[in-house]
Amino acid sequence: MAAEFAPFEINPSSGIPIYRQIVDQVFALVASGALRTGDLLPSVRQVARDAAVNPMTVSKAYSKLEADGVVRRVRGQGMEVLPPSQNGSLDERKQQFGATIEPALHRARQLGLTRAQIREVIASLLQDRPS
Amino acid sequence: MNTPVISWQNLQKSFGAKEVLRGIHLDLESGTVLGLLGANGSGKTTLIKCALGLLRPTAGSVSVFGENSWDLSASAKARLGYVSQEVTSYPWMRVRQVIAYTAAFYPKWNQVFVDELSRRWHLPLEDRVGTLSTGQLQTVGIVLALGHEPELLVLDEPVASLDPSARRQFLRTLLEMLDGRERTVLFSTHITSDLERVAGRVAILADGKLRFHGELDELKDRVKRLRITSRHDLPASFAVPGALRCEVAGANATVSVADFNEKLVHDMRQTWDAEVSVHDLNLEEIFVEMHDGSVC
């Protein structure tokens, strides 16, 4: 079944390459549950036409998503969303998270927090969240 | 490897004592949309005219479809379409007549497509060419260049005189043409937002040389603006390798780099005891950084 969600929000004049905008949005749509396992992404032609961008750029995004194990190519149908568990190894996901908190740790040091105090903050943040 | 559709080999072109192009090496591969950027007078039009055999190189050479540009065969010319900056036509002819006249030169001419484009762009077919506005004339030039559905499209500021809606129409038509079969496009323009929609690769001309040639995505990934906030005033020795532009004020600095990577940021945080934030730049901003940079 084709996914029913608004087409991607593409800003060609952003500093972020168009293909990366599409990749990031598919990741987000999968994470939020708007795209479920078995859903089909809109066709390359449709996305290119809606956003008035080069179809090759959209193809590039879809190939990247395929290589990342987020979707798979189904002959004659399009790109199908795979179960989320296949989205990158644990190491890769840890690395991604590490890159996100690196600047925060730097700020913590500027604020004069000790390692123990930083751990306390993270622990209390985690405590406030369900699961 | 296939023969490039256009190949500039150490192209040099001078007008009298004025060197416009000073050794350009560039291959345009089949199926590529290449955006050509450069300040006024940087030699974009000269680069294009040398490729089309409209100007003779001072040194070096250019080939199109493997043939020397200065000596292109009729069959090679039938495979390319060119929209020049200033469309020259026959002022006494009606638009319909200019189209028919041009069509007669081409062994393959898609009149159905031309009729469709004329309708889409509201071309006044019965008006005389001499009475058209600059924008209408440019539209006629585009239709004439697309009518034989060329494999190679060379566009030299094709939309400079078009209003935003006509420009978008043109881009959509170009994208539709790219969707069907493999085509190669060389697109020179100052409107960077148009290139961001269609171009896969970008070439930037400055001082008669190629300042950058590569994928647009790669360019956006590599050129970044960094804002540095240190806990102390930055020393006079403050410098960043590969900086395009650099401004220092007390403990703060703004630096644009041409070759961004995470390690660079990491090193800066360590070296200057600073907080570093990374900002993405779009093509227009990158172009400006490359041209107006003052390096520290």
State CA B36 to chain mean position distance.
2
DSSP letter assigned to residue B94: B
Q: What is the pLDDT of residue B89?
A: 84
The yes/no answer to whether this complex scores an ipTM above 0.90 is: no
User: If DSSP codes are grouped into helix, strand and coil, which group holds residue B223?
Assistant: coil
At A28, the pLDDT band (50, 70, 90 cuts) reads confident
Task: Give the model confidence (pLDDT) of A34-66 as tens digits.
Answer: 889 999 999 999 999 999 999 999 999 999 999
The nearest CA of chain B is from the CA of A52 a distance in Å of 6
Chain A residues touching B200 at Cβ < 8 A: 54, 56-57
Top-confidence range, A76-80, B131-135, B183-187, B274-278 = B183-187
Chain B residues touching A20 at Cβ < 8 A: 217
Task: Give the model confidence (pLDDT) of B84-134 as tens digits.
Answer: 988 888 999 999 999 999 999 999 999 999 999 999 999 999 999 999 998
Residue A1 has pLDDT above 50, yes or no: no
Q: What is the pLDDT of residue B294?
A: 63
Q: Do B280 and A49 touch (CB under 8 A)?
A: no
Count of helix runs (H) and strand runs (E) in chain A: 5, 2
Chain B residues touching A61 at Cβ < 8 A: none
> Is residue B132 within 8 Å of residue B119, measured between CB atoms?
no
- Please tell me which of the candidates B197, B220, B231 has its beta carbon nearest to residue A52: B197
* B142/B122 Cα distance (integer angstroms): 13
Q: Do B171 and A48 touch (CB under 8 A)?
A: no
Q: Do B196 and A12 touch (CB under 8 A)?
A: yes
A54 in B contact zone (CB under 8 Å): yes
Q: What is the pLDDT of residue B64?
A: 97
